[in-house]
Amino acid sequence: MFELHGTVTIITGAASGIGAATARRFAAAGSDLVLADHSSDGHDMDAVVADVRAAGRRVDVVEVDVRESSSVDALIATALANHGRVDTVIANAAIARIHPLVSMTEADWTETIDVDLTGVWRTFRAAVGPMREAGRGRLLATTSTVGVLESWVNHAHYSAAKAGIAGMVRTLATELGPDGITVNAIAPGIIETPQTLDPVNSLGAAGIAEVSARQAVRRIGRPEDIAAGYHFLASDDASFVTGQVLVIDGGRTQQHG
């Protein structure tokens, strides 16, 4: 297992799904954590915190709205005040709502772009200062195969946001490399998360079963599959990896090729 002892990791969208699985894996690898979500209350976050503490790691929980720069700035300030450092930031907060183009309002478009794309930019911008001072850092984001390698009907706003993350990562890798900061993203395929299980805005249980039968590995992804990728990218073993979008999709998009 890649060692993360002595590091501090911030994860947004940490209450469930990929964020929660990543928090648990990082705690097991020795990282202290600052977990952020739009609501800091609730059973899901409580369970994640309990597991992190059971692994013997320190953890803070911060309620964050990635649409507000002041909220994101406060998240980074909390990490610095309580831990004195920020080694890795995983910008994972996102929303996905079904909106055909003909009925999509400007508010619908703006909401998704603001959370899924600009929220990542706000998070990275807030974290880069302390990372530059330290001469080291890992900026990581969750994009998607949607918008990068494939389409998703009735989700043009989501696809645009996720494609934008890929472009941002490549540019920032070049910009921040001289400061010792690597910048990468993971593009998950279909992952079993609360969002994917939503039958209105995503696949639902029936859709997941159908898609699983058509996957190269005959299952959809688990949040733990993505957490493993983040674990590698945050480690010293990935110090020469930057500007990359790591696709973890069980061979889904390869079949399209």
**In the sheet that 88-91 helps form, which strands lie side by side, from edge to edge?**
59-63, 32-37, 8-12, 88-91, 137-142, 181-188, 245-248
Arithmetic mean of pLDDT, 164-181: 99
Q: Is a pLDDT exceeding 80 seen at residue 141?
A: yes
pLDDT digits (tens, 9 = 90+) for 15-54: 999 999 999 999 999 999 999 999 766 669 999 999 999 9
Confidence of residue 236 (pLDDT cuts 50, 70, 90): very high
Q: Is a pLDDT exceeding 70 seen at residue 151?
A: yes
Give the separation between CA 140 and CA 82, rounded to whole angstroms.
22
User: Is the CB of residue 73 less than 8 Å from the CB of residue 219?
Assistant: no
CATH architecture of 8-251: 3-Layer(aba) Sandwich (3.40)
The chain-wide mean pLDDT, for the chain, equals 94
Share of the chain above pLDDT 90, in %: 80
Provide the annotated active-site residues.
158
Q: What is the pLDDT of residue 69?
A: 99
Give the separation between CA 56 and CA 117, rounded to whole angstroms.
34
Residue 138, classed as helix, strand or coil, is strand
Domain map (residue ranges) of the chain = 8-251
Q: Is a pLDDT exceeding 90 seen at residue 202?
A: no
Q: What token pair was written down for 90?
A: 């995983």
Q: What is the pLDDT of residue 217?
A: 86
